[in-house]
Amino acid sequence: MAAPPDTLAERVLAGDPRAVARAISLVEDGDAEGVVLIRSIFPRTGRAFLVGITGVPGGGKSTLVDRLIATIRAKGKTVGVLAVDPSSPFSGGAVLGDRVRMNAHTADRGVFVRSMATRGHLGGLARTTGDAALVLDAAGFDVILIETVGVGQDEVDVAQAVDATVVVLVPGTGDDVQAIKAGIMEIADVFVANKADREGIDRLVHSIEGSLSLQAVPDRAWIPPVLKTEAVTGRGVDDLWATLCRFRHEREPARADRRRARVQASLRNLVGELLLTRLEAALPTGMLEHLAADVEARRVDHYTAAQTVLAAVPLGPAKTP
Amino acid sequence: MAAPPDTLAERVLAGDPRAVARAISLVEDGDAEGVVLIRSIFPRTGRAFLVGITGVPGGGKSTLVDRLIATIRAKGKTVGVLAVDPSSPFSGGAVLGDRVRMNAHTADRGVFVRSMATRGHLGGLARTTGDAALVLDAAGFDVILIETVGVGQDEVDVAQAVDATVVVLVPGTGDDVQAIKAGIMEIADVFVANKADREGIDRLVHSIEGSLSLQAVPDRAWIPPVLKTEAVTGRGVDDLWATLCRFRHEREPARADRRRARVQASLRNLVGELLLTRLEAALPTGMLEHLAADVEARRVDHYTAAQTVLAAVPLGPAKTP
């Protein structure tokens, strides 16, 4: 009973929430219908403001996002939220216990919240999230918040697909904080020191500012500000939103190089994914399995096995189906 | 003044620490010489016990690894440690402030510690870490500990490349703990509730055990045990090591399916990476850049652009250089 793609695209463009939900599911499942849909809505995208929100688990990101929704709605703008979950290689399922909080907004047509599982495959997370954001963009949402859990490569990938990245830290995250900062220092456009009522908040702010002064900042005209918030009470959240808007209008247009580099990287990933899919379809049945067994038994190393796969399949230009 | 690969391989096999360091650098840089090296040492690998250690930042993983090194050394076994850092898309550099602690072991030839940056490219982290582990394996280290920072896809990828995965949690990581557990529940072979002196430790243990009883456990003969440790004092670390050894001897051999699946996945990723590298070398100069500009300007969508790239390059079998 799937709607024909044209109709689904039209309904997405009209902002129908059920069509948006269905479209994101198609995208998430890697369905061919999803690709057709993205193609047809693509010319109508590029208007929304994409904000990534990342940082340590336990940093209160969900509460912050919840508050940010309220602030943005109070300015008369609509908001789509993508909450990206850590993936499981087995179930691929999305479970976010704290999503329940966002239910406060469910009666509001100006808010759309969606949890997404990160997929284990090639370029999976960044592309799926990017396509889901295109759906929300086409549906007319003014702002799209992409919340990620964790501080790894996933977050760096997502940061490359948004207009502005907020990195959330909290006092007292302990001995690994150096390591976290080393990784995400350069993706932050705005730092948030959340749980500002906690002991150690000033030390945290100084430590971030200290690291900023030590590291090479890519854009001297925008030193990422460090804002204090208290997501539970909402303190500092209006200021966060004002800072994001200022960033968007003052600095984001000057980042054409960064934007181009990220489009190129995502295109490269997509090409890789399509290539691999085509290769797998063309491989003799069981070839990958047999070679993997040989590698496991140490009869052949993985590099030689990979070369064997490549040599087996002359990949020509795509045939029109 | 690089040593010829044969000599380097021989020196790695002889356990020369400088050769091991150089070999890992080659692997990390994606150097062709690194591939030659891995090929020549590969038949001499497969003996080491690979243990992944992951969990929330601030969980005290580094201290735990440090204690584990001491325990393993006390049993007369040698240990290699790979500390995997979050990556930066800009610098790619590795900074781990707390690595300094491991200096206690620097005079011991039976311990080798190395920080590694996670690379942004395709299958980068899992493959680079896997190859570095092969180097340590070939050099004769009995146990290889792979410590990751964060709880994202990186950690899931690394978990697929080791024999046993330890997931470290601490009391009071707050409101995102549900989300973390959902993602890494299924990769854990052993749970560690660290900082056992803290308030909330029993609640944490019960909460992990509760989640385990709710989720589908892939192997009914091994329900992941939840151990309490206090890494700072070393309490519980001997028990952790004994549990890992028990897992290795009792359960790991029964996991042939899992092992085969992970070899297959890593082979698939490697093929994808080689394909993409070959494609890029064959593309007309500037094609990817021009298409990315078209996508950015919304003149063409990314799926159509990717198809254009694929259609432009008939990829045949690899030519012998």
* Residue at B211: amino acid letter: S
Q: Which of B101, B127, B149, B313 best probes binding to A when mutated, by most A CB atoms within 10 angstroms?
A: B149
Q: Which of A125, A153, A274 best probes binding to B when mutated, by most B CB atoms within 10 angstroms?
A: A153
Q: Tell me: domain A45-254, CATH 3.40.50.300, correct?
A: yes
In this prediction, residue A247 carries a pLDDT of 94
Residue partners of B246: CB distance under 8 A and separation at least 6: none
Mean pLDDT of chain A: 79
Compute mean pLDDT per 10 residues along chain B, 321 residues long, and list them: 69 94 88 88 92 82 91 96 60 36 65 74 68 95 88 66 88 54 72 89 84 67 90 94 94 75 80 80 85 89 89 57 39
In this prediction, residue A153 carries a pLDDT of 62
In this prediction, residue A205 carries a pLDDT of 87
| Extents of the domains making up chain B | 1-44, 46-255, 264-312
Of B130, B124, B43, residue with least CA distance to B82 = B130
Backbone angles phi, psi at B229, to 5 degrees: -135, 165
Helix (H, G, I), strand (E, B) or coil at A231: coil
CATH superfamily, domain B46-255, is P-loop containing nucleotide triphosphate hydrolases (3.40.50.300)
In this prediction, residue A54 carries a pLDDT of 86
Concatenate the DSSP letters of all residues of A134-160 into one string.
HHHHHTT-SEEEEEE-BSSHHHHHHHT
In this prediction, residue B225 carries a pLDDT of 93
Q: What is the largest CA-CA distance in chain B?
A: 65
What's the DSSP call for residue A187?
Answer: G
In this prediction, residue A161 carries a pLDDT of 78
Does A103 contact B at CB distance below 8 Å?
no
Write out chain B residues lying below 8 Å of A185, CB-based: 88
CB B43 within 8 A of CB A298: yes
What's the average model confidence in pLDDT over A242-252? 91
Chain B window 67-96: which residues touch A at a Cβ cutoff of 8 Å? 85-91, 93-96
Structure tokens at A169: 């830290």
In this prediction, residue A285 carries a pLDDT of 85
Chain A window 154-173: which residues touch B at a Cβ cutoff of 8 Å? 154-157, 159-160, 172-173
Q: How far is A72 from chain B (nearest CA, A)?
A: 23
Cα distance between residue A240 and residue B233, in whole Å: 41
Q: Which of A74-88, A265-279, B288-302 has the highest mean pLDDT?
A: B288-302
Of B86, B52, B100, residue with least CA distance to A159 = B86
Does A97 contact B at CB distance below 8 Å?
yes
Cα distance between residue A163 and residue A144, in whole Å: 10
- Cβ distance B270 to A302 less than 8 Å, yes or no, reads yes
In this prediction, residue B126 carries a pLDDT of 72
- Scanning every residue of chain A, which has its alpha carbon at the shortest distance from the alpha carbon of B151? A150
CB A192 within 8 A of CB A240: yes
- Cβ distance B179 to A269 less than 8 Å, yes or no, reads no
- Scanning every residue of chain A, which has its alpha carbon at the shortest distance from the alpha carbon of B173? A58
Does A64 contact B at CB distance below 8 Å?
no
Residue partners of A226: CB distance under 8 A and separation at least 6: A191, A192, A193, A205, A208, A209, A212
Q: How confident is the model at residue A96 (pLDDT cuts 50, 70, 90)?
A: very low
Cα distance between residue A51 and residue A69, in whole Å: 12
In this prediction, residue A79 carries a pLDDT of 96
Q: Which residue has the higher pLDDT, B152 or A199?
A: A199
By Cβ distance, the residue of B183, B264, B315 closest to A315 is B315
Q: How confident is the model at residue A8 (pLDDT cuts 50, 70, 90)?
A: very high
Residue given tokens 């942004």 in the structure block: B120
By Cβ distance, the residue of B89, B295, B309 closest to A271 is B309
Query: How many residues are present in chain B?
Result: 321
Does A32 contact B at CB distance below 8 Å?
no
